[in-house]
Structure 1
């Protein structure tokens, strides 16, 4: 098959910037996938996606003008259905062959052309045919329609097109944005296709203001990117445009000097890349008086509202300069710079006004206002929620640090949500917690309390830092527990990929604080005590919630590289001190490497199965009922080994505890070789089951060793 490179472009009105990269990748990916499925492209075909604010395009190498014909064998039906007793074709077979386009004018010849072969227990008829390969115009039409249909469009637009026929009229088109042009080039030849009311050609339109020519005509598929950049003043590649913007940002920061650097924000860089076709970075300034406002406020308003890149000094402090990525490159950029400076000034003035107004009231004076903010119709207001968090925090603080920590945690919890009713957070919800810290310091509160107010939302996401002090840890733990217990208590559980109250994230936050801070707190007690502050507002779902947290713990551990067997062996025991989990896993891994481990794990599984079949076995052994030498030897070995292993366990040396228990391998093997556990005599059977129960309890304190059996 002779091949050439293919270029397809859809020219449209401005696409949604946050979805642009995904749209471009999907368009190119589905187009190539469909061409490969039809045999027009090969597995070696290289796909290059292009996406700019006004176009989606794909360059695909090694695309054929026509796919190779393909021999196809198709199962028709069992012989018993297709042929009658005399071997003649049945009406069902004739009808099937006609549907496939086979010549049935001579039924005998048609049957003779079929192949008979075993198909399971019966024999079936098979039809061999040659399927003509798809031509590029037909195949590309199908692929293009499929690529458009499968675009991950965030919101579809509906617009009207005038029909091109004898009778005038309008037709409705649904697409992400109105489309105005279609390019389809196979080498230098236009492939005739039609989509969205458009007919393919070899030209497009470049930059609205800076294109050298209009329209931009392509000589062939391979000249697309270069021609569009030279004649159309458009960098078509999303990746190339992003790289160019990053280069210009760094260059502009260097020219400013003083060690400044643009803020590092890949999401903002992606969004700006999706907004411009020909980037031109310019340096702008604002009045220094605005720097009295917390820099988080200024940075957020510049990034979120204006898509500007603030400049930070070498110490990470905001400067009064920022970078703008313009879509035009005039000889004199002063008007563009001045315009952006005028636009940002009111935004910064608003932030300063909010900050100045908010500081006129203390956080403590805002607590009452939380009673007017609804948290959940079944759980009351934010004010009620604050009291619950405060009670939980006070109890946890008492456990971890006595009266002093309890009092600090109580104060921080009381004020932690008050910035929700400030003007600044009302305008910028992303600053909740951050502004609370600034206002707490303005009120003269201690640094510990101020930090805790900001940090009680942490960790906000995977890899986020934990609260910086113990007061923050206590309040963050209380806040997340209140959310988990409350939502579980009213039945608002996550389902599938839906988790509107971020309960999975809250559970992982609880786990991280308990594990990373190695807090001496029992998970079950934490959940149970947190539930008590709700009174009769919720039902008791502590078991379901702890199971949910253990599931999140298991998933997190597997992501960290522990095997499923290792994780299951530890988590199945539901250790109450999550800070011990890492030590238990390390002990299990060390134990599993011992030569005795496989036999002991298998024996443990065997013991588990025996005890499951027995009824409530008591871990009690009477030496008088030990008859067989093997059970006497095992009991004697256990009397020596188990107390030593238990002492090591109680001291937190889980590795040593399991290694000590590993010395029981020989007497355990001998026991199962020489002793009938389920003896006919009831007293012997119960005594032997009691011996195994004692052994089972001792061996599974660190982890369920039976889970290590493959």
Structure 2
């Protein structure tokens, strides 16, 4: 919604300068082709052109257009400029948008803006929640837009939905004696997926906690849009929060459905972890010998060997252990060929850390495998 919008454009004056006077008239004072051409360009007779200055000038007052006549083009251009990676068509129409349009509400004050955008004629009827209020909702004016839809179980204000989700997720996390992981990007995405948010606590089997928690968090956040919970020590709890789009009479059914859906995701992560652990981390280097790093620089394994030699050279000069530095360098890229990183690229370095620990590598060697990628982004841990 836009507030304090003028009803009409302001009138504006436009001055067009033409040819110099000496070029506009000949010695006898007759207009030249330059003067006549300028008048024609302005769409007026030469007598309406100001000839008092050093150049011919045409001054025109352009009346401002009513806002209602400008809005359709502004809205249509704005929709076309949206950074939508994949647009779709539907039916026999030529219009393209992220999803098929079903209706269009466009009001200027109490007046419906007369236009058709994306094959929908503007009106004042929106629709309520699909289950709570499937009937049309009449929007009497922009001032009543949010309240009219709220009465129909639709929170049209994105920031309001975001705030409700954030607050309720924190409350539920506290009830579970945990802290929710709430990345701003995930919160924004979830707020954009629901119109009547209802956060609910779900759980999963504790056996999955044997898998590196980063892998579980990644799959729950990226694939299922869940908010994960951590205990006071920062360890993952076997519970998560989903945000339903309905105030169900039987929320347990929604909880059970989400628990059923997440189980295969976690099972996949568990499978990859167990498969990788069947062999030592160092053996993954064999696969890297066939992965080209750069045509003139050899394979990824060749790169790891160079890193190992450089680390061994630098370590004693800064008070480090050359042998362990060399070991960390040699193992630094091993997990890139693991099943875990193949499925979850975000786990590079992290998977290597866990596998190195499982193999009994020194703690500082294992840490180096993870910390080589830090920081992983702006504002991330160093």
Give the structure-2-normalised TM-score.
0.93
Q: Counterpart in 1 of 2:224?
A: 306
Structure 1 residue 371: deviation in Å? 0.4
Q: Counterpart in 1 of 2:111?
A: 189
Q: Which of the residues 284, 297, 303 maps onto 1:366?
A: 284
| Cα pair distance change 1:88/1:234, threshold 3 Å | farther
Gaps in structure 1 of 5+ consecutive residues: 1-58, 118-122, 162-170, 467-710
| Cα pair distance change 1:269/1:72, threshold 3 Å | same
Q: In the aligned structure 1, how far is the partner of 2:33 from the partner of 2:73?
A: 35
Q: Counterpart in 1 of 2:100?
A: 178
| Cα pair distance change 1:71/1:330, threshold 3 Å | same
Answer yes or no: is the 8 Å Cα contact 1:160–1:173 preserved in 2.
no
| Cα pair distance change 1:110/1:88, threshold 3 Å | farther
Q: Counterpart in 1 of 2:127?
A: 205
Q: Which of the residues 145, 151, 154 maps onto 2:82?
A: 151
Equivalences for 1:376-525 in 2 at 5 Å? 376-401=294-319, 405-466=321-382
For the pair shown, which has the larger CA radius of gyration, 1 or 2?
Answer: 1
| Cα pair distance change 1:208/1:77, threshold 3 Å | farther
Give SS of 2:96's match: strand
Q: In the aligned structure 2, how far is the partner of 1:278 from the partner of 1:458?
A: 38
| Cα pair distance change 1:176/1:85, threshold 3 Å | farther
Answer yes or no: is the 8 Å Cα contact 2:68–2:108 preserved in 1.
no
Gaps in structure 2 of 5+ consecutive residues: none
Q: In the aligned structure 2, how far is the partner of 1:222 from the partner of 1:460?
A: 45
1:13-38 residue CA offsets vs partner (Å, 9 max, x unmatched): xxxxxxxxxxxxxxxxxxxxxxxxxx
| Cα pair distance change 1:330/1:194, threshold 3 Å | same
Q: In the aligned structure 2, how far is the partner of 1:418 from the partner of 1:455?
A: 14
Q: In the aligned structure 2, how far is the partner of 1:149 from the partner of 1:99?
A: 33
Structure 1 residue 115: deviation in Å? 4.8
Give SS of 1:151's match: coil
Structure 1 residue 219: deviation in Å? 0.3
Aligned Cα RMSD in Å?
A: 2.0
| Cα pair distance change 1:81/1:224, threshold 3 Å | farther
Higher helix content, 1 or 2 = 1
Equivalences for 1:226-375 in 2 at 5 Å? 226-231=147-152, 233-256=153-176, 258=177, 260-375=178-293
Q: In the aligned structure 1, how far is the partner of 2:179 from the partner of 2:312?
A: 43
Structure 1 residue 434: deviation in Å? 0.7
| Cα pair distance change 1:61/1:86, threshold 3 Å | farther
Q: Counterpart in 1 of 2:138?
A: 217
State yes or no: 1:65 paired with 2:3.
no
Answer yes or no: is the 8 Å Cα contact 1:136–1:191 preserved in 2.
no
1:405-455 residue CA offsets vs partner (Å, 9 max, x unmatched): 221111001011111121111111101111111111111111111111111
1:640-687 residue CA offsets vs partner (Å, 9 max, x unmatched): xxxxxxxxxxxxxxxxxxxxxxxxxxxxxxxxxxxxxxxxxxxxxxxx
Q: In the aligned structure 1, how far is the partner of 2:56 from the partner of 2:101?
A: 50
Structure 1 residue 136: deviation in Å? 2.4
Q: Counterpart in 2 of 1:667?
A: none
Give SS of 1:172's match: coil
Aligned length: 382
| Cα pair distance change 1:444/1:192, threshold 3 Å | same
Q: Counterpart in 1 of 2:48?
A: 110
Q: Counterpart in 2 of 1:7?
A: none
Give SS of 1:204's match: strand
Q: In the aligned structure 2, how far is the partner of 1:407 from the partner of 1:205?
A: 68
Q: Which of the residues 52, 56, 65 maps onto 1:134?
A: 65
Answer yes or no: is the 8 Å Cα contact 2:332–2:349 preserved in 1.
yes
| Cα pair distance change 1:270/1:384, threshold 3 Å | same
Give the structure-1-normalised TM-score.
0.52
Q: In the aligned structure 1, how far is the partner of 2:378 from the partner of 2:118?
A: 42
